[in-house]
A and B are shown apart, each in its own frame.
Chain A
Amino acid sequence: MNFKFIKTDLVLGIRSWLRSKGTVFWTILFPILLIMIFGAIFSGSDEVKYDLVLQDLDESSDSHNLTRLLSESGFFNLKNISKSKDISTYMKDNDLSVGLQIPEDFGKKLAESIGNPFAKVNLTYYIDPTDSTIPNIVRGIISGLVNGYNDMITLSPSIVSMEERTILGEDFDYIDFFVPGMIGFTIMTSMVYGSIERNTKLRKDGILRKMLTMPVTRYEWIFSKMLFMLFLSFISTFVILIVGILVWGLNFQINIFLFIIVICTSFMFSGLGMIIGRFVKDQETADMAGGAITFPMMFLAGTFFPLDQMPEFLQATAQVLPLYYVNEGFRNAMIYGNLEKTLFFTGATVVFALVFFLIGVFLTKWKED
């Protein structure tokens, strides 16, 4: 193994990359812009009437008064569920994003609170964090109604308040859903286009022909290029996470699966780029072919929007797209903390990476016909 070459190739590759403002933009600034834009868009939208699951555990006159207030506000289609049901499960099963639970001792506590300025009564607000829009809007409406209720009943503004819970068990926002997808998408585009460039532009410029006549093997060359591509992937991931934390208060866990998925995604999409570059030799056409594959995949693999918002046949399509496994792998490893799903999606990502990369390496030829 020629480590002198591998080191030089990596160092000069990074230097050359930093000098290309366009590439730096697409690798780092573009994802940041997307995070900012999507975050801003889905932090405030308008709807007219929303489905709201309502579970009244108290069933007192006070709770009925609150229910009537919500119903008469005109903002909600109330889905009343019985005490015996689990509100989270009901919401998940019925694809509903928001729910409100009135506690068992609502009326009693409300009565106790009159004349006691420190008394509190909590309503529990359930949301689906993968829905970027509705929970934010509904939260605002309910808050307004609850404040009105406070004024009406107790003449105190803060006795009845809301405690928010997500049906996933923790407090997630749309940005928590979006950022992992953004990481997967960014690594995918960097790797596919980087690989296409290596296999088309460098071939056209005679660099591959020259390499063939020099004392370096194809495997050493691919290995050194992959080190550089991994550097890019980790830089992109790091920058996206930092922006997510600083601007949108992103919650995530760092664990070994995050690293495994970043590495596997890099190998997977480099392999895909090699395969495209092998069959489409002109760079512009290869770029178009790359776009034709990556852009539909970006939308269909649940990068920006949850898959369950799509028609069923598109949801089925996602199951065959490697980016879907990457996105879900990142989400489960970083955000949802679901070990079983993390293992499944990470495993699938490893398998896709092996298949694509090995085929890509096999197909990459230096020799001319």
Chain B
Amino acid sequence: MEEKTVQCPKCGKSITTFGNPGEVVKVDCPSCGNEGKVTFQKIIEQDDSAIEVYNLKKVYGDLIAVNDISFSVKKGEVLAFLGPNGAGKTTTVEMIESIRVPTAGVIKIYDKDISTSFDQVKENIGILPQEFFSYERLTVRETLLYFASLYKNSVNVDEIIDSMNLKDQEKKLYMNLSGGLKQRVGVAISLVNNPDIVFLDEPSTGLDPKARREVWEVIAGLRDKGKTVFLTTHYMEEAEFLADRIIIIHKGKIIAEGSLDELISKYGDESILRVKNCKSTNLINVLKEKGFDAFTEGNGDIAIKIKYKEQILEILSILKYECVDYSTIDIRRSNLEEIFLKLTGAKLREAG
């Protein structure tokens, strides 16, 4: 519990109130009766943060696109900002990129408030905007040269072409590239200044599965190079595959955050081990005697809830004696889609 003293904007009287970090406390002025609110900012570890966001808000008329969110991104971390279309992902990232002006809140990149010092961080960040298309009639090489010319310190274009596997495409016009290659060039453009932080706004949206996988490999390469990556996506597979940490946003609010394992253990159901085509009638009884929560599903499969991974070995040893004729077993744990469904009551790709 923290103590905070504020002045009444109407009569100027000092009012002391108490609240927890992140809490908004309603306050009534004892002198004039004016009503107000006091926000207690979330305490965020600042030491290794590349990006810090405090009480960020964006309002369009009656619509609250981003509603008082706070979070940080650590240096060298791949953060996936996951949410359905219209959740507020792009609005948030564009406020961090200084493309949109926040209604309220503070954004810091490397401890610099971007509302006053964004020019100082431009050389250190690389950005791939949502639905980005470069100049159609420039070749890949010319495109990279063009954007590199904007920076005081830019990487040798040949190095980027090699590292992004674009050697065979360097003389092709941008307009003649496939969707996946265009996105790869987009990522390459965001790297021409060798930035420490890379913002990728829905980099694989609209791509076929093969092209999407290619883009993921490029992003995984950034992670391996130690770049801080801020990735917005509405693909849970993308977040699962790439992210060190995931923030789930829905209707402008952060509803969950943590690593994939943390989110699953916190919000997911227990894992289920299924035994298919087991003819033994005694298996269920034996499992129950051993303390397992086991049951027969409608299709005849035997399902066993797993709380600890050590239980898997124990179940396999029971199967060895009680049911040797099963065809397959599989173990399934909750995924982000199910967590999102559980948290919001809507499917990730349908919400928004």
Residues of chain A within 8 A of B125, CB atoms compared = 213
The answer on a CB contact under 8 Å between B94 and A207 is no
| B58 to A, closest residue via Cβ | A369
| A20 to B, closest residue via Cβ | B137
In the complex, what's the smallest C-beta–C-beta distance from B257 to chain A, in angstroms?
Answer: 25
The answer on a CB contact under 8 Å between A215 and B142 is no
Residues of chain A within 8 A of B100, CB atoms compared = 367-369
Would you give the 0/1 interface string for A13-29, flagging 1 where the beta carbon is closer than 8 Å to chain B? 00111011000000000
A79 within 8 A of B: no
B119 within 8 A of A: yes
Of B127-135, B302-310, B341-349, the one contacting chain A is B127-135
Residues of chain A within 8 A of B326, CB atoms compared = none
Question: CA–CA, A2 to B152, complex, Å?
Answer: 9
The answer on a CB contact under 8 Å between A2 and B150 is yes
B241 within 8 A of A: no
Residues of chain B within 8 A of A108, CB atoms compared = none
Residues of chain A within 8 A of B31, CB atoms compared = none
B313 within 8 A of A: no
The answer on a CB contact under 8 Å between A368 and B99 is yes
The answer to whether A16 and B129 touch (CB under 8 A), given A2-B150, A213-B99, A215-B123, is no
Interface residues of A in 342-369 (CB under 8 A from B): 366-369
The answer on a CB contact under 8 Å between B129 and A19 is no
Residues of chain B within 8 A of A214, CB atoms compared = 122, 147, 150-151
Interface residues of B in 275-291 (CB under 8 A from A): none
Chain A residues bordering chain B, tally (CB within 8 A): 26
Question: CA–CA, A215 to B149, complex, Å?
Answer: 10
The answer to whether A16 and B132 touch (CB under 8 A), given A209-B99, A212-B99, A215-B151, is no
B318 within 8 A of A: no
A8 within 8 A of B: yes
A4 within 8 A of B: yes
Residues of chain A within 8 A of B131, CB atoms compared = 205-206
Residues of chain A within 8 A of B150, CB atoms compared = 2, 5, 214-216
Interface residues of B in 34-80 (CB under 8 A from A): 60
Would you give the 0/1 interface string for B92-109, flagging 1 where the beta carbon is closer than 8 Å to chain A? 001001111100000000
Question: CA–CA, A17 to B138, complex, Å?
Answer: 10
Interface residues of A in 166-211 (CB under 8 A from B): 205-207, 209-210
In the complex, which range does the number of interface residues on chain B fall in? 20 to 34
The answer to whether A207 and B135 touch (CB under 8 A), given A213-B97, A215-B119, is yes
B211 within 8 A of A: no
The answer on a CB contact under 8 Å between A12 and B138 is yes
Interface residues of B in 168-221 (CB under 8 A from A): 173, 189
The answer on a CB contact under 8 Å between A12 and B146 is yes
The answer on a CB contact under 8 Å between B98 and A213 is yes
The answer on a CB contact under 8 Å between A207 and B122 is no
A282 within 8 A of B: no
A105 within 8 A of B: no
Residues of chain A within 8 A of B142, CB atoms compared = 12, 15
The answer to whether A206 and B130 touch (CB under 8 A), given A16-B138, A215-B123, A215-B150, is yes
Interface residues of A in 1-60 (CB under 8 A from B): 2, 4-5, 7-9, 12, 15-17, 19-20
B145 within 8 A of A: yes
The answer to whether A213 and B127 touch (CB under 8 A), given A9-B146, A19-B173, A205-B134, is yes
Checking B60, B98, B147 against A212 with a beta-carbon cut-off of 8 angstroms, the contacting residue is B98
Question: CA–CA, A7 to B145, complex, Å?
Answer: 12
Question: CA–CA, A338 to B152, complex, Å?
Answer: 51
| A23 to B, closest residue via Cβ | B137
The answer to whether A19 and B137 touch (CB under 8 A), given A213-B127, A214-B151, is yes
Question: CA–CA, A216 to B149, complex, Å?
Answer: 10
Residues of chain B within 8 A of A206, CB atoms compared = 129-133
Question: CA–CA, A347 to B135, complex, Å?
Answer: 37
Checking A7, A15, A209 against B94 with a beta-carbon cut-off of 8 angstroms, the contacting residue is A209
Question: CA–CA, A206 to B119, complex, Å?
Answer: 19
Interface residues of A in 275-318 (CB under 8 A from B): none
| Residue of A15, A17, A213, A214 with most partner-chain B CB within 10 A | A213
The answer on a CB contact under 8 Å between A205 and B132 is yes
B residues lining the A interface (CB < 8 Å): 60, 94, 97-101, 119, 122-123, 125, 127, 129-138, 142, 145-147, 149-152, 173, 189
* Besides the known contacts A9-B146, A207-B132, 14 further A-B residue pairs in the complex with CB atoms under 8 A apart: A9-B149, A12-B138, A16-B136, A17-B137, A19-B173, A206-B130, A209-B129, A212-B98, A213-B97, A213-B122, A213-B125, A214-B122, A368-B94, A369-B100
A-B contact pairs, 21 of them (CB 8 A): A4-B149, A5-B149, A5-B150, A8-B145, A8-B149, A9-B146, A12-B145, A15-B137, A15-B138, A16-B136, A19-B173, A205-B133, A205-B134, A206-B133, A207-B132, A207-B135, A210-B147, A213-B125, A214-B151, A215-B123, A366-B99
